[in-house]
Amino acid sequence: MEPSATMREYLAEIYRLQEDAPTVSTTSLAERLDVSAPAVPRMLRRLKNAGYVKHVPYQGVELTDLGREEALNEIRRHRILEVFLVNIMGFTWDETHEHADELGKGLNDTIVERMAEMTDHPQRCPHGEPIPDQDGVLTPPDDICIMNLPVGYKGEVSRVRTHEPEKLQYLASLKLVPGQALEIVGRAPFNGPMRLRLGREEVVLGAELTKSLWVSA
């Protein structure tokens, strides 16, 4: 069966959550999609019956090969639309996720590919996330969360893994966007604040923000 827009949204979010854990719980899915807890099991049953997900006893759900294919198609649609919103329509990166969620429900593949052409076939979204190609192939970025790196590391921002507008606005004000060169010059113990050098300037980030910042490995 052809998945509905809501089914595609669930599949894409399951894929994103599986990047950090092999299986996905109903609780984490409800939190990420901002839906009621009872709504998730109903949708998961539909997805399971359609062959898109499978249940792992006592752990949660994971995508089947078919579900992964549909998820990557949806992620491609979403991320190309985000690039289009920034590069063509002039939105800022903190506005794109919500708009792309709404607009993406009415897009077909023909429009998505025209958007890709108009934005010079982008390989990453405004937040640095990789965009699957037309065949549904996604090459995972070779990067690491900045929390896991020592003082003295030098590199550049690869991805900013948050959709929260306030965090994105703040990181943009610090110029902590994909491509920005940085050096870790200090950090407090026990996941305390981290001090970064950006050119001639230094900034301090708390643990909550460093979780979102990924850099080239």
Walk along the chain (217 residues) in steps of 10 and give the mean pLDDT of each run.
Answer: 90 94 92 89 95 92 96 96 97 95 89 97 97 93 94 96 95 96 94 94 94 92
Beta bridge partners of 160: 213
Q: What is the pLDDT, as a whole number, of residue 89? A: 97
Domain boundaries, the chain: 1-139, 143-216
Q: What is the pLDDT of residue 43?
A: 95
- Say if residues 200 and 187 touch (Cβ distance below 8 Å): no
**Superfamily of chain region 143-216:** Ferrous iron transport protein A (FeoA) (2.30.30.90)
Start-to-end Cα distance in the chain: 40
Distance CA 40, CA 27 (A): 8
**Rounded CA gap, 1 and 36, in Å?**
25
Considering just the CA atoms, what is the radius of gyration of the chain in Å? 18
Per-residue pLDDT, 66: 97
Q: Check: CATH 1.25.40.10 for 1-139?
A: no
Residue 197 neighbours by CB under 8 Å, 6+ apart: 182, 183, 185
